[in-house]
Structure formats: structure tokens, C-alpha cells
């Protein structure tokens, strides 16, 4: 690629922001919801970055910006060092192929009037010059890869369980050979009994295709085995980011500690003191002064209610935004 840089990460997000204007009343001035307020990360080929945090903290908004379903209000996005936010047809084409999204709800994301075969064929029809028989061959091959029987080709989505529908949605996401898949709570709507199957499938596919994942989840327990790195978000910002092991074994930010203490773990050797997270996520329409987490924090001091801690990098590679850690 002409503009790409040799050592650039596969995906590089720089200070992404998404502000939504909202009207509250007829006469009041429109305000802004800062859904995502300055998020940065890099993602390497074949790796998984998990984005975790409570509902409403901006995870899906971030996912929509990465896949360009929505343009960021501010910030930059680079793919292989190439500016991904440029509005020309070449870049647009590249975006459509290289980065795909899988949504939480496989009941809503599949067109009920189309058969599985044509759902999977559609991206090829729109974006490639393959012939009908080549498309069908590719669809059947992908169905095999995600564990769907060939006879499902002519069936409708409603004939399938949630887990199988999510396999269809994942297969659709992979039809154009993307490098990056943004998976927005891909197992949250599924029965606990099939979650592990879908997660294992995703890990197998990652190996097979050399995929990178941005894996969004409100539930930390889901990401421990799939993620290389974890970013914890609170009210539109990153509060802690680091290697998965580090985050699970030695969480530093009081919010990460609280989230983790509420997360059941299978093979944990350590007993964790349970930290109760009281109160609710504040509204991004009226973010609190100081650290957004201070009102719910068991370690907060006067300073935390006045001043906002910035995200600082530490020698072990983690990034944390907390005065108590500094």
C-alpha cells in the first residue's frame, strides 16, 4: 500500500471523540452528550483488545466510530499508518473490506426475509466481481468454517437458535476477508450454555484468518480468555488499560478493582475482597466535576472531587487515570 508505513500498527485510534447534540426542552440551549471523550489505542495484527465498562460508558459508540458507521466528532484513525477518515472512494472501499462489525443481537441484525445463503452472499455481490458460482462456493466454505451445515444455505434465520444466528452473523462479517472485527457484545444476548462455544469459535477463526478483534463487553468475565489487552472505560474515557493478565491479577484503578471483585472467576487462586459499587453511572450530559468516578469510589479524596486525573503511562505498560495510583 503506497501510504502505509512499515512499522505502523494495524489500527491506531488517536483521541477519538463523539459528542451528540441533544435538545432537552423547547427553550433550553442544546447540550452535548460526550459519549466518547478522547479514547486512544493501538491494535496489532492477530491480537484482541477488549473494551469493558458498564452500560452507557460509550463502548458501542466507540465501535461505531471504528467501523465508520458514525464519524468521530474529533480524533484520528489510522489503518496500517494510512489515514482511515479520508473521504475518498478508495479509502471508503478499504474500510468496507478491512473492518467489520458483529452486533450483540443476532435476532435483529439478520434480515428475516432472506435465506442464510443470500445473507452471506450479499457482501460479495456488492463488493466483488465474483461470479454466482464462485460466490456460492465461498459462502459454503465460510459456512463450514463457522460450523454451519451446507443444508442451512436455503433456510431462514428464524429457524435457528441464538448461537447459530450469531455464527451466521460472524460468517457474514468475514465474507470480505477483513483484518479487523469489532464485536459488540457478541455473546451477551446468548444463553450462558452457548457463550463458550461462540467464544471458542471466534478464537479459532482468529487463528485461521489472522484476525484482530476489538471485543466489546460489559462483562469482564467474558474477556479474560479471549483478550490480549483490556481497556476499561468509564463515562466516555479510558480509566485503565493494560495486558489482560495485569488487569485481572493486579488491577490498579478503583473502578477496575470494583468491576473485577463483582466478576466470578473460574480458576482464581486469589481471594478478592468484594468491593461494592454503589450508585449509578453518572449521566454524560451532566458529568461530575473532578474524577467522573469519585462519587462511587471507595478511595476518593477531596482532590478527586475537584480535579480530573489524566491517563498516565507506567513502566509496566499499563495506563491508569487515578490520583491514588500516582
Q: Which stretch binds ligand ADP (CB under 6 A): 55-63, 188-196, 240-248, 300-308?
A: 55-63
Which is nearer to ligand ADP, 106 or 123 (by Cβ)? 106
d(CA 131, CA 117): 15
d(CA 239, CA 53): 10
Residue 61 contact partner, candidates ligand ADP, Mg ion, none, CB within 5 to 8 A by sort of partner: ligand ADP
Of these, 9, 58, 157, 309, which contacts ligand ADP (CB under 6 A)?
58
Look at the block and give the residue holding cell 486525573: 309
Q: Which stretch binds ligand ADP (CB under 6 A): 56-64, 101-109, 266-274, 287-295?
A: 56-64
Q: Which stretch binds ligand ADP (CB under 6 A): 59-67, 72-80, 250-258, 296-304?
A: 59-67
Of these, 13, 16, 41, 60, which contacts ligand ADP (CB under 6 A)?
60
d(CA 309, CA 293): 10
Of these, 33, 43, 142, 300, which contacts ligand ADP (CB under 6 A)?
33
Neighbours of 180 (CB within 10 A): 20
d(CA 140, CA 168): 12
Which is nearer to ligand ADP, 47 or 59 (by Cβ)? 59
Question: How is 16-74 classified by DSSP, letter by letter?
Answer: EEEEEEE--SSSSPPEEEEEEEEEEEEE-TT-EEEEE-STTSSHHHHHHHHTTSS--SE
20 touching ligand ADP, by CB under 6 A: yes
Q: Which stretch binds Mg ion (CB under 5 A): 57-65, 201-209, 249-257, 269-277?
A: 57-65
User: How far are the Cα atoms of 40, 44, 80, 115 from residue 255, in angstroms, in the given order?
Assistant: 19, 26, 33, 44
Q: Which cell numbers in the block locate residue 24?
A: 432537552
Q: How far is the CB of 35 from ligand ADP (least distance, A)?
A: 3
Q: How far is the CB of 52 from ligand ADP (least distance, A)?
A: 9
Of 13, 51, 47, 38, whose CA–CA distance to 184 is shortest?
51
166 touching ligand ADP, by CB under 6 A: no
d(CA 184, CA 105): 9
Which is nearer to ligand ADP, 164 or 217 (by Cβ)? 217
Site track 61-100 with ligand ADP (rule: CB under 6 A), x = hit = x---------------------------------------
Of these, 16, 35, 202, 223, which contacts ligand ADP (CB under 6 A)?
35
Give the three-class secondary structure for 82.
Answer: strand
284 touching ligand ADP, by CB under 6 A: yes
Of these, 33, 49, 53, 60, which contacts Mg ion (CB under 5 A)?
60
Of 122, 217, 222, whose CA–CA distance to 173 is shortest?
122
Give the three-class secondary structure for 145.
Answer: helix
Q: How many residues bind ligand ADP, per CB under 6 A?
A: 12
Residues lying near ligand ADP in the complex (CB under 6 A): 20, 22, 33, 35, 55-61, 284
Residues lying near Mg ion in the complex (CB under 5 A): 60
Amino acid at each position: 500500500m503506497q501510504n502505509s508505513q512499515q512499522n505502523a500498527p494495524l489500527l491506531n485510534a488517536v483521541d477519538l471523540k463523539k459528542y451528540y447534540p441533544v435538545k432537552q426542552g423547547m427553550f433550553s440551549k442544546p447540550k452535548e452528550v460526550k459519549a466518547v471523550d478522547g479514547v486512544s489505542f493501538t491494535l496489532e495484527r492477530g491480537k484482541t483488545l477488549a473494551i469493558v465498562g458498564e452500560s452507557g460508558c460509550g463502548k458501542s459508540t466507540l465501535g461505531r466510530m471504528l467501523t465508520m458507521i458514525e464519524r468521530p466528532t474529533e480524533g484520528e484513525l489510522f489503518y496500517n499508518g494510512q489515514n482511515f477518515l479520508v473521504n475518498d472512494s478508495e479509502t471508503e472501499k478499504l474500510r468496507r473490506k478491512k473492518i467489520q462489525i458483529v452486533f450483540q443481537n443476532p435476532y435483529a441484525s439478520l434480515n428475516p426475509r432472506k435465506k442464510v445463503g443470500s445473507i452471506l452472499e450479499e457482501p460479495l455481490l456488492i463488493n466483488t466481481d465474483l461470479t454466482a458460482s464462485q460466490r456460492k462456493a465461498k459462502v459454503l466454505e465460510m459456512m463450514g468454517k463457522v460450523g454451519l451445515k451446507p443444508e442451512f444455505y436455503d433456510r431462514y434465520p428464524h429457524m435457528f437458535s441464538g448461537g447459530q444466528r450469531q455464527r451466521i452473523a460472524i460468517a457474514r462479517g468475514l465474507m470480505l476477508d477483513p483484518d479487523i472485527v469489532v464485536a459488540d457484545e457478541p455473546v451477551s444476548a446468548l444463553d450462558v450454555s452457548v457463550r463458550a462455544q461462540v467464544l471458542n469459535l471466534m478464537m479459532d477463526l482468529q487463528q485461521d484468518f489472522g484476525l484482530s478483534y476489538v471485543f466489546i463487553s460489559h462483562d469482564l468475565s467474558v474477556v479474560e480468555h479471549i483478550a490480549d489487552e483490556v481497556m476499561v472505560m468509564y463515562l466516555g474515557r479510558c480509566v485503565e488499560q493494560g495486558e489482560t493478565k495485569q488487569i485481572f491479577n493486579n488491577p490498579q484503578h478503583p473502578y477496575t478493582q470494583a468491576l473485577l471483585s463483582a466478576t466470578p472467576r473460574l480458576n482464581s487462586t486469589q481471594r478478592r475482597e468484594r468491593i461494592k459499587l454503589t450508585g449509578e453511572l453518572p449521566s454524560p450530559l451532566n458529568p461530575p466535576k473532578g474524577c467522573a468516578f469519585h462519587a462511587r469510589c471507595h478511595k476518593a479524596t477531596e482532590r478527586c472531587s475537584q480535579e480530573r486525573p489524566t491517563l498516565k503511562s507506567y513502566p509496566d505498560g499499563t495506563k491508569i487515570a487515578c490520583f491514588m495510583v500516582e
